[in-house]
Amino acid sequence: MQAEIISIGEEILSGQTINTNASFISEKLTEISIPTRWIQTVGDKKKEILEALKIAKKRSDVVLITGGLGPTHDDITKQVATEFFKSKLVEDEIVLKNVKARFKKRKITMPKINEEQALVPHNCLVIDNVSGTAPGMMFEQKKQIFIFMPGVPFEMQDMMTKAIVPFLQEKNKGMIIKNLIINTIGIAESVIYEKLDMAKLKDVEVAFLPGLGGVKIKLTVKEKKEVVLDQKLAKAQTYILSKIKDYVYGYGDLSLEERVAQILLAQNLTISVAESCTGGLIAHKITNVAGSSAYFKGGVVAYNNELKNTILKISQSLLKKHGAVSELVVKAMAENVAKITSADIGLAISGIAGPGGGTADNPVGFAYIGLYYKNKTTVKKYIFNNDRLGNKKRFAVAALGMVREKLCL
């Protein structure tokens, strides 16, 4: 069984809205061993939607369509579906009752136009929208399934998770697909490739997914027997770890900050941060993890030298002689923030995010990151590029990576 996703909306084509719906749907389909082979994006035009449906009908077993089911003038998906499936619109009393109930619950007078959402093609299976007013629609013809869902992300996600995934899972008995995501930090995609002999990974599909937070290695296996599938994944995982174990911090959806949290909790350690060029991003990442108060003492964003002096107790002479972006200043920042907050670990950073402010000695994308632990301070120098926001993210990831590396040695 192969799937295709059609995303409808001018806002997606124009770049105003990121197509998160397609990635969510594809991920959920993968979990039930249905691969997504194609994704189409079209505007709110009848001709374009019809053409997308015709193309999908020729090649896909399951077609999932999102967007254009609302009550306004540019929501024409339902009308196009009615024409495509040679249907006619009829009022569904249950849908109308549900729409009215949702407005009543919110104590809002329902606009007359919302009554049109109770009109559905007579030959479709209506899918209840537990989070909104536009119902989903499913057409099953011979061995093909077309499913129309709202474009509002949380409405689509509820519908997909509670109704569509269980239905499709029952339909797709046979081939099993499993993925394993291996998360790495501190190693480039090309270096990973050089270290691995791809011939030894011939039993799995391998994809490298680089990002600002590191490279993810995605392993995919298709089998009819789950035990064989698990054996192939385990063999591939063991081989990859034998080559790049030191760079692997976790699996699946585990973030680097979650891995750092696990390590700190396991070792009963606390941490504080002193930030300059990242503007609080490291502290933000740390506190994104629930329960971070158990190990995070606090942070100081000392963006200018005055605060480095008055709060972090960095001497004026040290700042004047070496500059804020220097190994010695960052060393002092890491040591002092740990002492001031009584934390086991002090993490500090100072650099030049860009796009201006760089020099021959300290170019844009340059930063020192310091880590104080057990009365010893390590300072590392990093150089990235001239993308300010990208640099801030890379700096934050590098800093958390230093913590992981230090505590895992």
Contact 161, 28 (CB under 8 A): yes
Q: How far apart are CA 90 and CA 92, in angstroms?
A: 6
* CATH number for region 3-171: 3.40.980.10
pLDDT at 287: 98
Specify the CATH class of 176-251 in words: alpha beta
Alpha-carbon distance values, 187 to 145, 191, 202, 256, 298 (Å): 43, 7, 23, 14, 29
The continuous run of DSSP H or E covering 192 comes out as: helix 189-195
Question: Rounded mean pLDDT of the chain?
Answer: 93
Question: Buried b vs exposed e over 152-172: b needs ≥16 C-beta within 10 Å?
Answer: beebbbbbbeebbbebbeeeb
229-264 pLDDT, tens digit each: 999 999 999 999 999 999 999 999 999 999 999 999
Q: How many CA atoms are closer than 13 Å to the CA of 41, on its beta-carbon side?
A: 15
| Average confidence (pLDDT) over 184-209 | 95
Q: Tokens for 299, please give them.
A: 């942070």
Residues of the chain with CATH 3.30.70.2860: 176-251
Residues of the chain with CATH 3.40.980.10: 3-171
Q: How far apart are CA 244 and CA 217, in angstroms?
A: 11
Alpha-carbon distance values, 229 to 33, 200, 203, 235, 242 (Å): 12, 16, 10, 10, 20
pLDDT of 409 higher than 90: no
Q: How far apart are CA 289 and CA 272, in angstroms?
A: 15
If one compares 63 and 98, the residue with the highest pLDDT of the two is 63
The amino acid present at 378, given as its one-letter code, is: T
* Multiple choice CATH, 256-408, 3.90.950.20, 2.40.160.40, 3.40.50.10900, 3.40.50.410: 3.90.950.20
Residues of the chain with CATH 3.90.950.20: 256-408
pTM reported for the whole predicted model: 0.74
Q: Tokens for 400, please give them.
A: 């958390």
pLDDT at 113: 76
Indicate left, alpha or beta for 367 from its phi (over 0: left) and psi (-120 to 50: alpha). Answer: beta
| Average confidence (pLDDT) over 326-353 | 97
Is residue 42 helix, strand or coil? strand
Could you report how far apart the first and last alpha carbons of the chain are, in Å? 46
Q: Tokens for 79, please give them.
A: 């009308």
